Amino acid sequence: MSDSVAIHLDNHLSELDKLADEVERFGEANGFSPRTIYQIRLVLDELLTNVISYGYRDQRRHEIGVAMRLAEGLLTIRLEDDATAFNPVEAGKPDLECPVEERRVGGLGIHLVKKIMDQVEYERKEGKNLLMLVKTIE
């Protein structure tokens, strides 16, 4: 059983399958429930889809780093990319009371991330987005 894993992805949506497979392996090896594995996959898929789809203004290859570590019942996930600065922590809460056809586009995925994870922290450092996610694993 490994308590940490690091993955490097290219900025292509096809790389998300590679990440999903690694999350499955890591979660199963560490005894995560199927629900927890699903939640982690969902969170990472949402965040990285946004980074890949909206974060780059050129067509060049960019590397995205994902590191997961389990220690004392806490899963810490660190995402690092050189995309355009974006702080999901500051993203406003979507109006969930408003009818769907009147809602502003966007924001639901980030809202979901904040609901699933126990802690979400963002920092922009040396031209990179650093996002730290923490979830208690029961």
How far apart, in whole angstroms, are the C-alpha atoms of residue 102 and residue 78? 35
Domains and CATH numbers, the chain: 4-136 (3.30.565.10)
Query: Can you give the pLDDT at residue 103?
Result: 41
pLDDT digits 0-9 by tens, 70-129: 999 999 999 999 999 999 888 656 444 555 454 444 446 788 899 999 999 999 999 999
For residue 10, pLDDT beyond 70? yes
Task: Tell me the average pLDDT across 13-30.
Answer: 96
Closest to 66 measured CA to CA, from 111, 113, 126, 23: 23
Kindly report the pTM of this predicted structure: 0.86
Query: Can you give the pLDDT at residue 111?
Result: 83
Residue 72 sits at the vertex; the CA angle it makes with 75 and 65, to the nearest 5 degrees, is: 30
Query: Can you give the pLDDT at residue 124?
Result: 97
pLDDT digits 0-9 by tens, 31-66: 999 999 999 999 999 999 999 999 999 989 999 999
Residues 6+ apart with CB under 8 A from 84: 54, 55, 56, 57
Query: Can you give the pLDDT at residue 28?
Result: 96
State the pairing for strand pair 4-10/74-81.
unpaired
